[in-house]
Chains A and B, each alone.
Chain A
Amino acid sequence: MSRIVQTPAAAGPVTTSRDRRGRVAPERWAAWGFLVPITLYLAVFHAYPLYRNVELSLRDYTVRSFVQGDAPFTGFANYLKVFGDATFWPALWHTAVFTAVSLAFQFSLGLALALFFVNNFRLSAVLRALFLVPWLLPLIVSASTWAWMLNSDSGVVNAVLGVVGLGPVNWLTSPDWSLWSVIIANVWIGVPFNLVVLYSGLQAINPAVYEAAALDGASGWQRFWRVTFPLLRPVSAITLLLGLVYTLKVFDIIWIMTKGGPSGSSTTFATWSYRLGFGNLVPSFGPGAAVGNLLIVTALGFGLLYVRVQRRREAA
């Protein structure tokens, strides 16, 4: 890309970009011209919506002021309202548990499978393709299927449990189980992504290192902890970061399976934000946007942490 842009400048007479009278040289205009589409795109589809979302969270919107456009500025009142809400602490806890447990299982299962598949064997490509199926299914399909399977009365999971003599579990309708049910479904959906990224990371490790380790008499266990794991660290970090951002905002699986219930027991920030903004006949746009912003800030915080760690490592 950059080469193409540079070509006309190289072909033309060598000039400085501004002449003595301060006029901008034509090629500089061209350069700006090339920047316009992406700048406009970023401004219209990213910067403005973000700005509006922040503004929305700082004003007291009612349906009337939404239509009239005269919502009064209330500072952080919406945020205070959200912090003071009885849903806040449970939702924060559910979001943390949902994210942490999902990430831990997605990553470790994904890594285990990647290690398994990195030794190519017959049918390994077919098996690997099968593991990708959850990723390819539309979320509404997989979440609805999970909801059917976990149905208290007619679900296949309880039927199987019944065969081995275990009592039925109210997976989706018991406050003790609903969060775990959506976590199980989310782990199932997230494993393929981890598998694919970690698998390609494993392939990038030079086999010579393993040979050297084997010559030094390293056991399989040592090879993993002393060679694979450290060399895979950059890939692992980005996998976990992307996983974190995806998991924080998971909405559809929870909404389809439990609607955040029963009685708020599987409500996360994502479902809470939706419920505030759209889940009621009279929408609370302000608090809804405030919760959404908290999610964005959290994801941003972890993103910055990642960048900082990455820089330090590069500097070292």
Chain B
Amino acid sequence: MTAVGSPGWSRRALGTGLAVVAAGCLAACSAAPSGEAAAPSQQAGGGTYTIWDPYPQYDGGSAWVKLLETCGTQAGVTVERTGYDTSDLTNKALLAAQQGNAPDVIVVDNPVISTLAEAGVLTTTAENKLDTSAISPNLLGAGQSGGNTYGVPIGANTLALYYNKAVLDEAGVEITSVTDWASLTAALERVKAAGKKGITFSAIGTEEGSFQFLPWFWGSGAQLTKLDSPEGVSAVALWTDWLKKGYAPNSVINNTQTTSWQEFASGDYAFAENGTWQLANAKEAGFEYGIIPVPGKNGGTAPAPTGGEFVSIPVQRDTARYATSQQLVTCLTSTDNSFTTVGTLSYIAPTEAVQTRQVAENPELEVWVAAVKAAKGRTGDDLGTKYPKISEPMWGAVQAALSGAKSPEQAMADAQTAAASATQ
């Protein structure tokens, strides 16, 4: 699951220790002497290949781990798999690379790819000969920078709007009438007039907040390279307006996607912006729900950011290992196995062929497939490691506007100044 997408994400972030301890860790974690001549992770032809993934919830008996083992057997090697916490994995990978014992295959959250690539930790598809021709270009974008591709998406998820049928019926709103921002706002107004609550989302001051804001930002036609464009400001103004008029609760400023979902699950809200991963919870919510894509400002489907992981092959001293690693990755992402994998991880497949199969099996996924097709990688558009430096001022601006500290115009103008100086 994506770093910002998984329900357990916030709790993990919360568990982190004191900042001073953290500062100590800054030191201790990087304590290995740099440039030390470390042995490669395994000897060539040793027959054991290491795989790291961010799915600690799957143990040895799970379908995911069994698939890894099967792929290992097919490639004639033993697979040694370790599941890490998503938030740990980036630092673990950087440290391992520093010490020269990176895993043979790594599965990481897509926006992390550009960071690892920037650090020189990952091989390009030109080096490792992975075939990416079947992958949807919009999904592959998150793994590309400077003309190179650094991995294959294993599956994707994204955001859409869940709605509560009973609440909409009570307010007399026909869901098909909701096609753009104006009609959505009108629907919220009627819901509020009927004594129910409008919409909930997550505008928390972390990457999660940017993740949720992006469909509206991109849906307005704005570009991340210019936060304070009139379009960008209109997206912040839309949210601010909803809060002012009471269409969205004030608590969204502190909501994670999980707490936002809990608000929706209370049954009082008409809409909630949330991800594919809540489908199972939606079935348990105890009321009839539906899903529509996030509408663009003037209609159509707004591009939502893609979530989901990439499979990559980290740089090894012994380049002869790439051939086997490539076999392992190809096995994981081949059409048949991809179907199993995305089923296990509750993702939408990155290839057209498997997407079709998913919809044939479960028609409910159709809206998600459409949303994933319209989605964009956050680090795409050749932003790469610039994205995090734009994202931080952006979520700050959203918070400033929603909390009333600044006007939407002022907030976005300040954010653009900060982003420009951070990315220059």
Residues of chain A whose beta carbon lies under 8 Å from any beta carbon of chain B? 48-53, 55-56, 62-64, 66-70, 86, 140, 143-144, 147, 151-154, 170, 172-175, 249-252, 255-256, 258-265, 269-271, 273-274, 277-282, 285, 288-289, 291-293, 295-296
Contact = CB atoms under 8 A, between A and B. Distances in A.
Q: Is the interface of A mostly helix, strand, loop or mixed?
A: helix
A49 B406 contact: no
B27 A259 contact: no
Interface in B208-253: 249-251, 253
A263 B393 CA distance: 10
A190 to B, nearest CB: 15
Given A52-B30, A256-B14, A174 B403 contact: yes
Given A67-B97, A69-B98, A273 B19 contact: yes
Contacts of A170: 250, 253, 403
Given A66-B98, A67-B120, A262-B399, A151 B251 contact: yes
Contacts, number: 192
Interface string B112-130: 1001101111000000000
B389 interface: yes
Given A63-B119, A173-B251, A251-B22, A281 B399 contact: no
Nearest to A293: B23
Interface of B: 13-20, 22-24, 26-28, 30-31, 33-35, 90-91, 94, 97-98, 111-112, 115-116, 118-121, 204-207, 249-251, 253-254, 263, 385, 387-389, 391-392, 396, 399-400, 402-406, 411, 418
A152 B250 contact: yes
15 contacts: A53-B27, A63-B115, A64-B118, A86-B418, A147-B254, A152-B250, A170-B250, A174-B403, A252-B14, A255-B16, A258-B205, A262-B400, A277-B26, A278-B16, A289-B23
A154 B266 CA distance: 11
Contact of A252 (B18, B204, B253, B391): B18
Nearest to B203: A262
B257 to A, nearest CB: 14
Contact of A173 (B20, B30, B250, B406): B250
B26 A67 contact: no
A286 to B, nearest CB: 9
Nearest to B252: A173
Contacts of B15: 140
Contacts of B392: 280
Contacts of B254: 147, 151, 172-173, 258-259, 261-262
A255 B385 CA distance: 25
Contacts of B116: 63
B16 A64 contact: no
A67 B35 CA distance: 9
A140 B11 CA distance: 9
Contact of A49 (B28, B118, B205): B28
A290 to B, nearest CB: 9
A290 B207 CA distance: 23
Given A52-B31, A69-B35, A64 B120 contact: yes
Nearest to A71: B34
B26 A56 contact: yes
Contacts of A86: 418
Contacts of A63: 94, 115-116, 118-119, 385
Contacts of B22: 251, 273-274, 277-278, 292
A264 B389 CA distance: 16
A288 B253 CA distance: 25
Query: 9 closest pairs, A vs B, by CB?
Result: A69-B34, A292-B23, A52-B27, A270-B19, A263-B400, A261-B205, A173-B253, A262-B403, A281-B388
A66 B94 contact: yes
A277 B28 CA distance: 13
Contacts of A252: 14, 16-18
B161 to A, nearest CB: 20
A263 B405 contact: yes
A142 to B, nearest CB: 12
Contact of A273 (B14, B23, B406): B23
B31 to A, nearest CB: 6
B261 to A, nearest CB: 14
Given A70-B34, A274-B16, A259 B115 contact: no
B389 A282 contact: yes
Given A173-B403, A270-B18, A274-B16, A261 B23 contact: no
A273 B33 CA distance: 24
A215 to B, nearest CB: 50
Contacts of A260: 205
A263 B403 contact: yes
A182 B298 CA distance: 41
Given A86-B418, A251-B18, A274-B16, A53 B251 contact: no
B171 to A, nearest CB: 19
B353 to A, nearest CB: 31
A287 to B, nearest CB: 11
Nearest to A64: B119
Nearest to A170: B250
A251 B31 contact: no
Contact of B120 (A49, A68, A153, A251): A68
B121 A277 contact: no
Nearest to B406: A263
Contacts of B112: 281
Nearest to B102: A67
A249 B411 CA distance: 29
B31 A292 contact: no
Contact of A271 (B19, B24, B118, B400): B19
Contacts of B111: 281
